[in-house]
Amino acid sequence: MLAYADGEVTAFELLLGRHERGVYNFVYRSVHNADRAEELTQEVFLRVVKNAKRYKRTAKFTTWLYTIARNLCIDESRRRKHRGHMSLDATLGDDEGGATFKDRVTDHRAESGAARRERARFVEALQEGVDALPDEQREVFLLRHIEGLKFVEIADIVGVSENTIKSRMRYALAALRLHVADFEGVSFDEGERDDVGDPDAPEAL
């Protein structure tokens, strides 16, 4: 980005190649419309071009980029008066090799036909739980588990403290665990408990 801001035009092609797909996926999960997501993704990078000279390396480029994308999604949501639908079938970032969030669901039982059907029911219940989350919690969950961003990066994007982001994640995870409490031996958040702390003692939203 610094190279592009200094006039190296080819650097923009590198930025586009690295981040266009991720931004599109993020926007699509918010607007849930392929054509509109494409238009907004173009607008994100158009704003990158327009603001190139004012860009300063005070945060990671991805934080700055996703802040632009998030703000556009919020504006779009306000115009359309609804929030988008985040699908667990969505492909994760490029570093995940085309995996989806459903691929992260851990089943400690043998993968028999019955277990696969139960796993499918679990994922469906989890999707319903995600859809039912308050906007702020769903946003943090999406940025954390789908985009793979760190809590400090999400805090910069959303504009609140890292503790607040962790608090929202605790609430989200607690609600989702409750939503899938009837399923034994299947998990969607292994390792996350240590990162966000005890969900029974959340900090203020």
Mean pLDDT along residues 63-68: 91
Token pair for 33: 């419309």
Q: What is the dihedral of CA 122, 87, 154, 61, to 10 degrees?
A: 140
Is it the case that residue 199 has pLDDT exceeding 60?
Answer: no
Higher-scoring residue by pLDDT: 180, 85: 180
**Going by C-beta distance under 8 Å and a sequence separation of 6 or more, which residues neighbour residue 87?**
29, 127
Distance CA 4, CA 45 (A): 13
Q: Look up the CATH architecture of domain 100-196.
A: Orthogonal Bundle (1.10)
Domain spans, the chain: 2-80, 100-196
- pLDDT at residue 65, rounded to an integer: 92
Choice between 50 and 201, residue whose per-residue pLDDT is larger: 50
Q: Helix 61-80 to helix 151-158 angle, to the nearest 10 degrees?
A: 50
pLDDT number for residue 94: 53
**Which residues pair with residue 187 across a beta bridge?**
106
pLDDT digit string, tens, across residues 20-62: 998 998 888 788 789 999 999 999 999 999 988 888 877 788 8
pTM for this prediction:
0.62
pLDDT at 197 over 60: no
The pLDDT tens digits for 142-171 are: 888 877 889 999 998 988 999 999 999 999
Q: Is CATH 1.10.1740.10 the right assignment for the domain spanning 2-80?
A: yes
